[in-house]
Amino acid sequence: MTHYYLGIDGGQTSTTAILADETGVVMAMGTGSACDHITGPHGYERNREAIHSAIASTLSQTTIAAEAIVSVGMGLTSAPRELQATPIFERIVREVLQPEHIWIDHDVAGNLAGASAGAPGVVVIAGGGSISYGINKTGVEGKAGGLGYLMGDEGSGWWIGLQALQAAAKAVDGRGPETALLPFVLDHYRLATIRHIVGVIYGANFRRDEVSSIAGDVSQLAVTDAVAASIVDRAGVLLAEMAVATIRQIHTAGELVDVYPTGGVFRSERITASFSDQLEELWPETIVRQPQFAPVYGALFRAYQQVGLSITPALLSRLRETRK
């Protein structure tokens, strides 16, 4: 019987799965509903639905039997190690599959594995939130950030959006300089005055993406507005400091380190440039690289490695050739 390997990337927007054989031929990719914090309201039910729906979506595209899947890798936003929820997720998987091996970890570990094709390095994720994670060649891990919007998320879309709102408010009452962010914020949120923003950010139905979603606009305004420019430049610096904090946990001075910036915030060339410049200043031996594969491939790489398969150039080549 041919053996197959399943990778699952569970995020707060959707869950993605990929099925491949041991040579790297991709058989199918599927999607499921979003994962959620396992300890939150209905967390177990939502994660169960997300994982099961992603598996079902993938298997529905093939005639491969569930019994042929020997290893599963899962990188889940809802599985930080401190919650010690691995047995819960393993039980969810085993309701529909019976693999010999299951790898389960926080999604940031899958992000790095995908970005680096399973090699050591450091990943910085800057989307709605921010976090940095790294692993060195001996397997020692490091992490910085990732404690959520109340505790930080520095340099993230949330942080950029919040800084823009604060700058607009300060421009009105004289605590800060004039800025194009003020008319932008008033127009974007359809506010009569900046003080009406309290109805948005403290409303019962407020969602954090209502703030993080304006990060791209702030980056565009940075071309001509000094206040917006200072915000996005600072975002790059903070993300670089997060990366270097991780590097220092797992490397000694002078060691070369591959760093992979990922997430929507890095679509801004200005932020990426600020990030790279600060990295160069703080740890000159860093090499900023583009991610090689999406996070779901990182989960697949971990599924391979669980059974002792190496991530070879030939396997990577076939994955690229057969990706769906």
Is a pLDDT exceeding 80 seen at residue 265?
yes
Average pLDDT estimate for 279-297: 95
String of DSSP letters for 170-190: HHHHTSS---THHHHHHHHTT
Q: What is the CATH number of the domain that holds 45?
A: 3.30.420.40
Domains of the chain: total: 2
Does residue 134 fall inside a structural domain? no
235's CB contacts (< 8 A; 6+ apart) are: 126, 154, 155, 156, 159, 160, 265, 271, 274
Contact between residue 143 and residue 133 where contact means Cβ atoms under 8 Å apart: yes
Q: What element of type H or E holds 280?
A: helix 269-282
- Classify residue 224 by burial, with Cβ atoms within 10 Å: 0-12, 13-18, 19+: exposed
pLDDT above 90 coverage of the chain, percent: 81
Residues 283 and 164 grouped into a single domain: yes
Q: Where are the alpha helices (DSSP H) in 95-253?
A: 107-116, 157-173, 181-188, 198-201, 209-212, 215-221, 226-250
30's CB contacts (< 8 A; 6+ apart) are: 16, 17, 19, 54, 55, 56, 57, 58, 59, 60, 61
200's CB contacts (< 8 A; 6+ apart) are: 189, 191, 206, 210
DSSP state of 40: S
CA 228, 229, 230, 232 dihedral sign is positive
Residues 284 and 300 grouped into a single domain: no
286 band by pLDDT with thresholds 50, 70 and 90: very high
11 band by pLDDT with thresholds 50, 70 and 90: confident
Domain that residue 225 falls in: 157-288
Residues 281 and 302 grouped into a single domain: no
**Helix, strand, coil tally for the chain in percent (to 5):** 45, 20, 35
44's CB contacts (< 8 A; 6+ apart) are: 38, 88
Does residue 108 fall inside a structural domain? yes
DSSP state of 107: H
* Order of strands across the sheet that contains 101-106: 26-32, 15-21, 4-10, 69-76, 101-106
Residues 62 and 35 grouped into a single domain: yes
Residues 307 and 269 grouped into a single domain: no
130 band by pLDDT with thresholds 50, 70 and 90: very high
Residues 254 and 309 grouped into a single domain: no
Residues 30 and 76 grouped into a single domain: yes
Does residue 189 fall inside a structural domain? yes
pLDDT, tens only, 153-211: 999 999 999 999 999 999 999 999 999 999 999 999 999 999 999 999 998 888 888 99
pLDDT above 70 coverage of the chain, percent: 100
CA distance 147 to 166: 21
- The alpha carbon of residue 173 and the mean position of all alpha carbons in its chain are separated, in whole angstroms, by 37
DSSP state of 284: T
DSSP state of 167: H
Sole residue written with tokens 């070369």: 256
Mean model confidence pLDDT for the chain: 93
Does residue 146 fall inside a structural domain? no
Does residue 141 fall inside a structural domain? no
- Classify residue 191 by burial, with Cβ atoms within 10 Å: 0-12, 13-18, 19+: middle
Residue 129 token pair: 């939130």
Residues 84 and 199 grouped into a single domain: no
Residues 178 and 282 grouped into a single domain: yes
131 backbone dihedrals φ, ψ, rounded to 5° = -165, 155
Does residue 67 fall inside a structural domain? yes
Residues 166 and 216 grouped into a single domain: yes
Is a pLDDT exceeding 80 seen at residue 82?
no
